[in-house]
Amino acid sequence: MFSISSLVNMAWILCWHYDLIPLTMLLMVVLLGSLAYIVYIINKEDLSLRDKIFIRLPFRVYFGWISVATIANVTVLLVRWNWDGFGISEAIWVAIIIAVGLIIGAVTSVKNRDIAYALVFIWAYTGILIKHISSSGFAGQYTEVFATVIISVILLIMASIYIVWSGKRLEKKSNS
């Protein structure tokens, strides 16, 4: 499965480079699916601390990154197709996409008890936030986007805290 994900990732890079956006979307979905499967298999294994650090953690981060990149790829594809958003403003659509990403990030990270996955979303959303508050970026023009990103980061941090807290509760129960 890792070989498939690597080949698909290489094909994605080539298609992106040659501006074959619809094909990049198909490849991104295959890549995301292969990484989801890899993470699923790895999560079932009883790994040593070393394997958790050098195998599980990198794949969780990679899965998180490709999840965020898939959302971005969908957005690029819609822009390429000149999608009009049913008459809804671009800023509202960006806020909706960010909220959908929040749901994906929070649900997946809590379900898999995966802080690394959540941290990737926090990192990506922090980058969006910086772009939106920066004077060289959007300088606070889009309050809907700004508010959605702030709320999303706070909720993702809360999800991460919940994962840590629930993990400690599970440890206490198993030690009792």
Domain ranges of the chain: 1-83, 86-176
Sign (positive or negative) of CA dihedral 103, 109, 111, 112: positive
pLDDT tens readout for residues 93-117: 999 999 999 999 999 999 999 999 9
Q: How confident is the model at residue 170 (pLDDT cuts 50, 70, 90)?
A: low
The DSSP letter of residue 54 is I
Q: How confident is the model at residue 172 (pLDDT cuts 50, 70, 90)?
A: low
Q: How confident is the model at residue 139 (pLDDT cuts 50, 70, 90)?
A: confident
pLDDT the model gives residue 171: 62
DSSP-based three-state secondary structure for 48 = coil
pLDDT tens readout for residues 67-91: 999 999 999 999 999 998 999 999 9
pLDDT the model gives residue 118: 97
Average pLDDT estimate for 124-146: 92
- Tell me how many degrees the CA angle 24-11-43 measures, rounded to the nearest 5: 85
Global confidence as pTM: 0.91
Residue position matching structure tokens 């980061």: 153
Q: 57-80 and 115-133 helices cross at what angle (nearest 10)?
A: 40
pLDDT the model gives residue 175: 61
The closest alpha carbon to 160, from 117, 130, 126, belongs to: 117
Q: How confident is the model at residue 146 (pLDDT cuts 50, 70, 90)?
A: very high
